[in-house]
């Protein structure tokens, strides 16, 4: 199967420039293109696994990086589609976050995003343990809570903020990220994992 880059219906975002979004979407499209190219090469190299052992191992390692980059960016951009919508305070997601994080989810998640180094701050939901898991994936293909559905994804690689805020502007970018979210998207993700 060949993947196609998704098109996102993104409004202008407060604190995240149109140019930054354009370049960021271009980077996402690169992940899709690279994943497809690697997948095609793996089929070709599989014809002689002994001869191509080194190339195969490098491409297989790279494949998950490209795939996760593709999927995480799809989660990321989807969160801005439509119109900015605050989290419904009386809704199931807000109530669950308040219970689990004692009313301090946003501060906790911001702290994860502000950790030193590039990566992703990700909020997952564990349907077996019936609890959230928030984590940091420094390399987008490592550090994940395997099998857990993603509720909220925050890209904190430099490409997400350097154009607008410079190398030291991660915190300001995270503020802008939270200002622009369409929380209906996350509420829908949470509802889907509850059924």
Q: pLDDT tens digits, residue range 119-154?
A: 999 999 999 999 999 999 988 777 788 789 999 999
C-beta neighbour count of 90 within 10 angstroms: 6
Q: Do 186 and 110 have their domain in common?
A: yes
Cβ 96 vs Cβ 186: under 8 Å: no
Domain tally for the chain?
Answer: 2
Strand partners, 154: 121
Is 7 within the bounds of a domain? no
Dump pLDDT digits (tens) for 65-88: 999 999 999 999 999 999 999 999
Q: Do 61 and 97 have their domain in common?
A: no
Per-residue pLDDT, 108 = 98
Is 58 within the bounds of a domain? yes
Dump pLDDT digits (tens) for 159-188: 999 999 999 999 999 999 999 999 999 999
C-alpha 99/C-alpha 170 separation (Å) is: 28
Is 123 within the bounds of a domain? yes
- Can you tell me the mean pLDDT for 153-157? 96
Is 5 within the bounds of a domain? no
- DSSP one-letter code for 2: -
Q: Do 98 and 64 have their domain in common?
A: no
Question: To which residue do tokens 């994936």 refer?
Answer: 137
C-alpha 142/C-alpha 62 separation (Å) is: 12
Per-residue pLDDT, 146 = 79
Q: Do 72 and 111 have their domain in common?
A: no
Is 55 within the bounds of a domain? yes
Quote the domain boundaries for residue 110: 92-194
Confidence of residue 30 (pLDDT cuts 50, 70, 90): very high
Q: Give the dihedral sign, CA 114/119/124/129.
A: negative
Q: Do 73 and 106 have their domain in common?
A: no
Q: Do 106 and 70 have their domain in common?
A: no
Per-residue pLDDT, 1 = 84
| pLDDT > 90 fraction of the chain, expressed in percent and rounded | 91
Q: Do 101 and 47 have their domain in common?
A: no
Contacts of 102 (CB under 8 A, 6+ apart): none
Q: Do 96 and 30 have their domain in common?
A: no
């Amino acid at each position: 199967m060949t993947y196609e880059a998704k098109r996102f219906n993104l409004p202008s975002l407060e604190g995240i420039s149109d140019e930054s979004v354009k370049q960021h979407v271009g980077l996402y499209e690169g992940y899709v293109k690279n994943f497809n190219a690697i997948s095609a090469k793996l089929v070709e190299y599989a014809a002689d696994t002994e001869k191509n052992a080194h190339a195969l191992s490098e491409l297989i390692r790279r494949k998950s990086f490209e795939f996760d980059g593709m999927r995480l960016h799809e989660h990321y951009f989807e969160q801005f589609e439509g119109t900015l919508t605050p989290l419904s305070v009386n809704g199931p997601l807000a109530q669950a976050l308040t219970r689990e994080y004692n009313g301090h989810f946003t501060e906790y998640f911001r702290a994860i995003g502000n950790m030193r180094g590039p990566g992703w701050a990700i909020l997952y939901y564990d349907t077996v343990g019936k609890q959230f898991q928030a984590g940091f994936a420094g390399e987008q293909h490592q550090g994940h809570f395997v099998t857990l559905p993603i509720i909220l994804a925050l890209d904190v690689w430099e490409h997400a903020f350097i154009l607008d805020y410079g190398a030291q502007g991660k915190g300001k970018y995270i503020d802008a990220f939270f200002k622009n979210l369409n929380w209906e998207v996350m509420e829908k993700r949470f509802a889907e994992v509850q059924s």
